[in-house]
Chains A and B, each alone.
Chain A
Amino acid sequence: EMQLVESGGGLVQPGGSLRLSCAASGFTFTNYWMSWVRQAPGKGLEWVAKIKEDGSEKYYVDSVRGRFTISRDNAKNAVYLQMNSLRDDDTAVYYCVKFGGAYFDYWGQGTLVTVSS
């Protein structure tokens, strides 16, 4: 059974850092791009970042470029999101998502990040 399990969320002050992790299982991890998508409380979905199968290509939405870094460890079947210089508007549930080519075909349950003083 396919599983994506996120961890690392929590409360952080503005300007702080947090590293999210996502453990993948139930599929051949090295065959797929992976992505992070976030959802602010009561709001819609926003694509954040994606990373190629071998980690050689990474793309970001403008609002996080230069502050967030996506990475992966294929030996551990894991993908990460390092978030620096966090702002209030980064508060959201962050979903780890398997990328099926041009669409988000399997989602984790999400981890909540709250940026507040």
Chain B
Amino acid sequence: QSALTQPASVSGSPGQSITISCNGTSSDIGGHTSVSWYQQQPGKAPKLIIHDIDHRPSGVSLRFSGSKSGNAASLIISALRAEDEADYYCCSFTASVGYVFGTGTRVTVL
């Protein structure tokens, strides 16, 4: 089971919206609703920001939203802020492995 595929980097200016893609297969993203997203700021532990495709945990900014279509999921960050600079990882349940993470995307605020 290979890692889910994410772009290595995405950048945007403050106030803009950006989208991070996460591509998988019918065995993981396409076959389950257990897609989640994590934000990891430099030197810190990951933090859950989206679960079950499009659900935000309490306390997570409304600027973060998620979606899924077929074998791919997306994380949208709207009204980009400097504090959003971090690495972002998608994750999906897969019956063969258990859980598989994405390759990670570095978000840069220009």
Name A's B-contacting residues (CB within 8 A): 37, 44-47, 50, 59-62, 95, 100, 102-110
Contacts and interface: CB of A to CB of B under 8 A. Distances in A.
A45 B37 CA distance: 12
A27 to B, nearest CB: 14
Contacts of B98: 47, 50, 59-61
Pick from A61, A102, A106, A110 the residue with the most CB of B within 10 Å.
A102
B89 A45 contact: yes
Pick from A44, A107, A108 the residue with the most CB of B within 10 Å.
A44
A103 B52 contact: yes
Considering the complex of A and B, which 4 residue pairs feature the smallest CB-CB distances, nearest first?
A102-B34, A103-B36, A47-B99, A103-B51
A45 B45 contact: no
B57 A108 contact: no
Interface stretch (B14-22, B75-83, B101-109): B101-109
A103 B34 contact: yes
Contacts of B93: 102
What does DSSP make chain A's interface, helix, strand, loop or mixed?
A: strand
A62 B100 CA distance: 12
A65 B45 CA distance: 25
B15 to A, nearest CB: 29
B63 interface: no
A81 B109 CA distance: 38
Interface in B55-110: 57, 89, 91, 93, 97-104
Pick from B44, B48, B99, B100 the residue with the most CB of A within 10 Å.
B99
A42 B102 CA distance: 14
B33 to A, nearest CB: 8
A100 B38 CA distance: 14
B3 interface: yes
Contacts of B100: 47
A46 B101 contact: yes
Given A61-B97, A109-B45, A44 B51 contact: no
A100 B100 CA distance: 16
A102 B51 contact: yes
